[in-house]
Structure 1
Amino acid sequence: MLRLALKTLRYRKGGFLASLIALFVGAVVVQGCGGLLETGIRANVKAERLAAAPVVVTGSQDYPGHAVGTATEPMTERVLLDENLVDAVAKVPGVAAAVPDISVPITALAGRPADASGHGWSSASLSPYKLVAGAKPTVSGEVVVDSATAKKLGLRPGQRLKASVRGIPHDFRVTGIAESRTATESALLFSDDEATRLYDRPGKIDDIGVLAAPGTNLATLTDAIGDAVAGRGAQVLHGDDRGVAEFPDAISGKQNLIPLAGAFGGLATMVAIFVVGSTVGMLMQQRRREMALLRTTGVTPGQLRRMVMAETAVIAVVAAGLSLAPGLAFGHFMYDVLVDQDLIPGVMIFSMGFIPRLVGFGATLFAALAAAFIASRRVSKVRPTEAMAEATLQTRWISPIRMILAFLFLGGATALAIVTASVMTGPIAASTAAPSAMLWAVGIALVSPGLCRWLAAALRWPVGWFTGLSGQLAMLNAYVRRVRLASAVIPIMLATGLATALIYLQTSQDDASNRIFADGLKADAVVSSQNGALPPSLVDTLSRLPQVAGASASVSSGGRLEKVLDEGKGDNDADRRVRPSRLDLQGVSASGARQTIARPVVKGDYGKLTGDSIVLPTDVLRDNDKDIGDRVRLRWGNGEATTMTVVGSFTPPRGFGYAMVPAEALLPRTTDGLLPQILVKAKPGVSSSDLKTALRKAAGDVPGLVVADRSEATAAHEQGDETGRVASFLLAAVVVGYAVIALINSLMVATAERRSEFALQRLIGSTRSQVMWMMSVEALVTALVGILLGTGVAAGALIPFGIALDGSVLPGGPGWIYPTIVGTAVALTFATILFPTWVALRARPVEATVAP
């Protein structure tokens, strides 16, 4: 059968090419998405400043003490180590030195915004940094600068350097210039005491660099250090994992990339399987006459199925082989886009090993063989005399397996829609709305022949009346050949439905977010800095201005409210079992909160947000059976747990819940401790220009200062949402682009297969223009039916999402998006149907009727 299969492929080049394209593109997309997922899972980051330390001990980002069976996300901020762990690591056999390391955020150098970090001089051995000029720092106010920064700023030993630490200006004397062969980021090296003072995290350090004794086995050393720090909130890294310790952004990058790549990969794999299955199934339907003829010559059903499976396997193996290099390139391309949009840090190493390639190959082969088996099953089981008659016109499409699958997919889509509308709230509803779009598409595709019959019947008379005799013939074709019409409609439905759903899911979120930001912005001005760091003391400075009614810091992070299930033994968090619930945190200043927060308190007072206090949403208080004055347990983003007193409650926007805490309590518990912005409310009668002038003057020489009024701040917020928008549009482009390729592929093959039909029409008197007009009407009907079904797919996802997001059944976003999608679908349908028709009509009718 393999030999026969190879011979048949030689004479079916069009079908072979169509299958090859669908399988090839599917394998490329699945492999590329798999590479992204592997990159996120591995989260490999090459060590630079810690390159000389073969083993690094850093804080564990795992959530401490969660109950068994309650999966949680990692901590949102960097988890610090207790400095007494240094002695414990130093005592491990094989450790030559255990060097504590801290990173101090340097936000400006020489009066200009900068991205640099400061460290103690003792940690210079971890890179290693070596002096090339001057001497090491010994007292407060001295600093060694890396050679690249020194060259850029024109610094030499003995000169003065102004540097801002977390937005606070300092003046240092440069004592030396140091050079490293591995570190690429700007670095300042202080004396150890100075670095500890600027670090301002008493009793804490970022990580420990371990220098091994000569001849020590690193694997054994890593295990021994792991045993020494077990149960103390630490993790031991080696190899490419070490880079995570010095680039904590890789932690958030991993948290962003894994769900994003999972969504990419899951949806892309489903689309690939669906598109490949549709393409192979359509090509098998076109060969019904050929397979029926084989049945009449004595070929058994099993032989027929084996021949078809062998053909398909050959094409799938060739396509998978050709996709290996492009799959790697495509994955790297998507990785570069995500890096450019700051969704993931560029220090993460793109990884694409054996597993993504195997998954791409397996998904492609499975989809192809499954489609070939299903498509060949019916014609291989009928009697030979019936097969010849049935091959002429396929009208039966219902089968028990098909209806069971349709019931499962449509039922699953309905269940997700109900969950989205009734259980989910806010942007998180997209996590169920997006998969429901794919389930709707597959379910509708399975029953599409029946739907096409009803829609064709509804369009038959109005279209036929407007388009004349050729149009009536086109509508008769569409009505009678509903199975073939369904094969042409499915890729249009898929492209239209998924494009509309995925794009409007994002634009609706953007619309809601921007509207909520504008409604919640009570302040008349927002003060920020280009480097994202303002001195915390500036809040009090601005609040004392005669033009200012109130000023409040504004800083964001994430945390969890914990319900303790079992206290365990002692005070060890590792023994305590809790049930955490995620909660976004907004840090504000009690002195200016009333004036700058737009949402009024339901109970309590914003002015009491000092110390260990918290203002919670009313629904969170109700769900936790708490009231004003009660105490709750809060786990900050850096892993610390604090018992907080509830001093107020408010009603946040539906689906956009958060809690408010004192900014002075939240800032030290963020990774960098940077104050990004200050909200300012003007006194009555103060103009916007006078307020901005006063704020700039009071801020003095803060590097990169930006003072924006309400409209400017709203515009900046809309611009800031571009990162998430680009990621969603990339997902839509990948999935929909593949669907468009399938649309072009399917329609061109389906139209080219009708050469003999066109020739027969011309032999009985039809002109070329009449055939072209008939096919134009068919193209219009095909596009209309596909767009109607695609709109149904999108509506099945967008309506529940809109209800969950803000109660609206209509999606938010630009109105031109949907007409553009529809217009593109119509244009592609006409082009892919009329072009092969025009090519087929170039041949003489007598020759076309006998052409293979």
Structure 2
Amino acid sequence: MNGAERLLAARSLRAHRKAWAAVFAAVVVTSTLLGCLALAAGSVGIGHARVERYAAAGVVVAGDQEVSWTAKPWGGEPRTTTAGLTERVRVPSRAVEVLRAVPGVRAAVPDTAFVVREGGRALPGRSWDAARLAPYRLVSGRAPERPDEVVAGGALGRRGTVAGHRVVGVADGPDALYVTADRARTLAGHPGAVDAIGVLAAPGVTTEALHGKVRQALDRAGLVDVTAGRPLRALTGDGRGGAEHLAAGPARIELLAMLGAVSGTVLMVAVLVLSSLVAQALRQRAPELDLLHKVGATPRQVRAAVGHEVVRIAGRAAVLGALVSVPVFLALWAGLKSRGVVAEGLELPVPPWLFTASLATAGLTAGVARLVVPLATRRVEPGPGAGAGTKAARGRLITGLVLLAAGVSAAGAAGLQGGAAAAAAAGAATVTLVAGCAVLGPWIATGAMRVLDGPLRRLGRAPARLAAAACAADARRLGAAITPIVLVTAFAAVQLGAGATMQRAAAGQAGAATRADFAVTGTTADRVRAVPGVAAATDVLRSTVVLAHTEAGDPRLDRLPALGVDAAGLTGTLDPGVVTGDLGGLAVPGTVALGADRADAMEARPGSVVTLRLGDGTETRLRVVAVYERALALGEFLLPAGDLARHMTDPSPARVLVAKEPGADPAAVRAGLAALGAVQAGPEPTPEQVVRDGEELGGLVSTAVVVAIGGLTVIAVISTLVLITVGRRGEFALLGRVGATRSRLRRMLRTEAAVVAATGLLLGAAVGALPLTAFAVSTAGTPPFLPPLQAAAIAATVAITAYAGILLPAKQGRFGRS
């Protein structure tokens, strides 16, 4: 940049501080948002499963909790993708003796976890030998010696008996039960395998040396896991936590992907908002820019001067936003953890050096602000010559139409896909359609005024006719006012409506599917069926399966919820809504029932054979016996409970659904269930509904993003309208000189605010309805749904900001006559 350009930038900054204030505010909010996201991504990126039970072990030998799949994309090289497993991959017991013979190993301690239930409460248990891996030590009493004896940890140590076991000792650490090694193997129910092996180093042996020796011993022995035959892993450091908290690793990967998608959305919205604000700030200076062109300034020099102004404004604002993002992030992170929505055992550290990430996002934000300058300057009429303006208008029209076509295409893609892919396509369609509306703003405004001009002139008095004339005279100004309203309306409608639609559809399906009279925990269906008055009962086991498929040619592994049920106990308890086939076929091992959408995607029908990987990674071929429609509530896979239980960390049923015989006394049945030790949550069973991984966390993140981006766009709405209104002071003064009173001008502005708000809301609703409808129909099979209170909040926010942006600056100024 030469001296003339720097001089122009410096003079303009001093002369147009109010115009740049809106850009400053928007950059601060954008930098704060991106700073928070960067800090969150950094914390998740260095996150790990918490090390608790294996803190004293130098090396932990465990199964590989990831499954991989390789496929060849269209016309490309083979690619491999991985997915985390949420069920335990176990280690052969003979590995213990192999590790004990390794030089430098002081002890190799097998760990086998189990769960016992008492009064509906699940209590974790292990062998007392494995307590030394933490280490947890006796506080009082002695170690267990008999099968009916336990050492109780935490608050359980205050009791004399726990779950039918006599407490003979009290240990430090969390609530847990410790039994003899033989009793632990019996309760765990998988002889010949252990969950993990903790290796303690001999004195003087470093962790690094121990790991090398253990790894060599495992490789020489050719030891593999008992589940899928994959090599065992030797974990050290923070990696040891992955053998304790199985859900932490997959949850971390999903959270990273979620934050990446949100960051991309924020960047796209920021580009739209900042380019609109910069263009509007320059529009107020159109005469000044024309003068510069006439006295010899080239378009490049003008863009360079404006760019320098934006960089100086955006640089300061971005640094301020980066500083603000630190306390905001800490508050949000603490709130997120306190809600208990983060996967159990997932440690999300926030070291001091991490805060430098917010400064990096400050540079990114300032760079985005500078990059929008060429886009924004094109929205201002170029230098002298009508031909240039005509050519620019033609290019703008073509660009807008292309963006609209791309948005419609993305919405169509959302309608043809499902799940996360449909949600991503719907979000991309929304942003693209809004961008198209922003580019086509003048044409859209002209069309809106053609519709509204007649009614305003016929039904309104002088203020309404003035408003109609003012809007019709400057379609570009009206288009600039409408664009941010379209953005906030469409974005909020799609983000909030997508989640609400899915929740409503799933809740409706769950209510229709659950036919049971009782739902109990702490027992099994076999025991419940013996209670007088019980007609049917089914265990409900909740696990996951991993499905391998390709998406646009790329390999994907999706972890999806699955239910295990008893085919004989479904009548009267659970109705998945069978479309074809017979659920009675689930009585045969090696079978599966599929949700209708999943069956279509897999091109499967009753009699087909599908390949799935169960929760522990075991690959299996299953015969399809039925296809059902209530998959949003029950998940997309129903398997025999016995098949699923063998591949679960805890094979106990999540609950038992019970149907009573016709005419049976409910109180008598309830008493019989209580006599078994079964616990009933309430008088009516809660509808059976699967909870997908990260669903609650995703809902909170989505709401936070809507609020944050909504705040950014509200700032854009107010700022744009304020700039427009301030730029019309001369117009207001002229109207005052020719006889318009102050009250008439106020009524004119109120009418304009109503036109802007109504047009923006209607257009935003139309823009949001297209991708939202495509998403709802493809994913939920229902029309889209937006809760009335949320819709009213969107409309009220738009109306208030529109009136504030137009009326407040006019009220502060002096125009018209009294």
Does residue 25 (structure 1) correspond to residue 29 (structure 2)? The answer is yes
CA distance in 1, matches of 2:556, 2:265: 31
Q: CA deviation at 1:294?
A: 3.3
What residue number does 2:724 align with? 750
Does residue 661 (structure 1) correspond to residue 661 (structure 2)? The answer is no
Matched-pair identity in %: 29
What residue number does 2:813 align with? 840
1:822 partner amino acid: A
Answer whether contact 1:593 1:607 (CA < 8 A) is retained: no
3-state SS of 1:100 partner: strand
1:304 partner amino acid: V
Relative to structure 1, is the Cα distance of residues 452 and 241 closer, same or farther in structure 2, using a 3 angstrom cutoff? farther
Relative to structure 1, is the Cα distance of residues 60 and 754 closer, same or farther in structure 2, using a 3 angstrom cutoff? farther
What residue number does 1:568 align with? none
3-state SS of 2:460 partner: helix
Relative to structure 1, is the Cα distance of residues 42 and 410 closer, same or farther in structure 2, using a 3 angstrom cutoff? farther
What residue number does 1:848 align with? none
What residue number does 2:764 align with? 790
What residue number does 1:682 align with? 660
1:69 partner amino acid: R
CA distance in 2, matches of 1:417, 1:127: 53
- Name the TM-score, length of structure 2 as normaliser: 0.86
What residue number does 1:143 align with? 150
Answer whether contact 1:504 1:813 (CA < 8 A) is retained: yes
Answer whether contact 2:62 2:90 (CA < 8 A) is retained: yes
What residue number does 1:348 align with? 346
Relative to structure 1, is the Cα distance of residues 601 and 512 closer, same or farther in structure 2, using a 3 angstrom cutoff? closer
Equivalent residues in 2 for 1:302-317, closer than 5 Å: 302-317=300-315
Give the one of 645, 649, 652 matched to 1:671: 649
What residue number does 2:227 align with? none
Q: CA deviation at 1:663?
A: 1.4
What residue number does 2:544 align with? 558
1:310 partner amino acid: H
2:366 partner amino acid: L
CA distance in 2, matches of 1:514, 1:251: 29
Deviations 1:670-694 (A, max 9, x none): 33334222112222233xxx32541
Does residue 194 (structure 1) correspond to residue 200 (structure 2)? The answer is no
Answer whether contact 2:62 2:232 (CA < 8 A) is retained: yes
Does residue 700 (structure 1) correspond to residue 700 (structure 2)? The answer is no
Relative to structure 1, is the Cα distance of residues 301 and 413 closer, same or farther in structure 2, using a 3 angstrom cutoff? closer
Deviations 1:172-216 (A, max 9, x none): 222322235xxxx32333222222222223233333333344555
Does residue 209 (structure 1) correspond to residue 209 (structure 2)? The answer is no
Relative to structure 1, is the Cα distance of residues 34 and 203 closer, same or farther in structure 2, using a 3 angstrom cutoff? farther
CA distance in 2, matches of 1:645, 1:836: 70
CA distance in 2, matches of 1:734, 1:637: 37
Q: CA deviation at 1:644?
A: 4.0
Relative to structure 1, is the Cα distance of residues 814 and 308 closer, same or farther in structure 2, using a 3 angstrom cutoff? closer
Give the one of 107, 113, 117 matched to 2:121: 113
Query: How many residues in Structure 1 have an aligned counterpart in Structure 2?
Result: 790
Equivalent residues in 2 for 1:756-767, closer than 5 Å: 756-767=730-741
What residue number does 2:75 align with? none
3-state SS of 2:785 partner: coil
Answer whether contact 1:426 1:655 (CA < 8 A) is retained: no
Answer whether contact 2:107 2:201 (CA < 8 A) is retained: yes
What residue number does 2:270 align with? 272
CA distance in 2, matches of 1:619, 1:739: 37
CA distance in 2, matches of 1:625, 1:305: 56
Does residue 50 (structure 1) correspond to residue 54 (structure 2)? The answer is yes
CA distance in 1, matches of 2:383, 2:216: 68
Give the one of 444, 447, 450 matched to 2:440: 447
What residue number does 1:508 align with? 501
3-state SS of 2:659 partner: strand
Answer whether contact 1:613 1:662 (CA < 8 A) is retained: yes
Q: CA deviation at 1:107?
A: 4.8
Does residue 818 (structure 1) correspond to residue 812 (structure 2)? The answer is no
2:195 partner amino acid: D
Relative to structure 1, is the Cα distance of residues 30 and 234 closer, same or farther in structure 2, using a 3 angstrom cutoff? farther
3-state SS of 2:83 partner: coil
Relative to structure 1, is the Cα distance of residues 236 and 330 closer, same or farther in structure 2, using a 3 angstrom cutoff? farther
Answer whether contact 1:417 1:800 (CA < 8 A) is retained: yes
Q: CA deviation at 1:624?
A: 6.5
What residue number does 1:490 align with? 483
Answer whether contact 2:404 2:432 (CA < 8 A) is retained: yes
Relative to structure 1, is the Cα distance of residues 87 and 451 closer, same or farther in structure 2, using a 3 angstrom cutoff? farther
3-state SS of 2:67 partner: coil
What residue number does 1:535 align with? 523
Relative to structure 1, is the Cα distance of residues 272 and 201 closer, same or farther in structure 2, using a 3 angstrom cutoff? farther
Give the one of 552, 565, 570 matched to 1:588: 565
Give the one of 620, 626, 642 matched to 1:649: 626
Deviations 1:91-144 (A, max 9, x none): 666554443323333554xx5736x53222222232222223222223322222
Which piece of structure 1 moves more, 309-318 or 39-48? 39-48
What residue number does 1:804 align with? 778
Does residue 37 (structure 1) correspond to residue 35 (structure 2)? The answer is no
CA distance in 1, matches of 2:356, 2:429: 27
CA distance in 1, matches of 2:687, 2:582: 29
Answer whether contact 2:69 2:548 (CA < 8 A) is retained: no
2:541 partner amino acid: V
Equivalent residues in 2 for 1:209-608, closer than 5 Å: 209-214=198-203, 216=205, 218-219=207-208, 221-222=210-211, 225=214, 232-345=230-343, 347-350=345-348, 353=354, 357=358, 360-376=361-377, 382-383=383-384, 398=393, 400=395, 402-403=396-397, 405-421=399-415, 423-425=416-418, 429-528=422-521, 534-536=522-524, 539-560=525-546, 584-598=561-575, 599-600=577-578, 602-604=580-582, 606=584
Answer whether contact 1:60 1:235 (CA < 8 A) is retained: yes
CA distance in 2, matches of 1:217, 1:405: 64
Return 5+ residue gaps in structure 2 as ranges. Answer: 72-77, 225-229
Return 5+ residue gaps in structure 1 as ranges. Answer: 163-169, 529-533, 565-577, 846-852
CA distance in 2, matches of 1:470, 1:355: 54
Give the one of 96, 111, 114 matched to 1:101: 111
Q: CA deviation at 1:72?
A: 5.0
Q: CA deviation at 1:30?
A: 1.9
Answer whether contact 1:23 1:316 (CA < 8 A) is retained: yes
Q: CA deviation at 1:778?
A: 1.3
3-state SS of 2:535 partner: strand
CA distance in 1, matches of 2:94, 2:707: 51
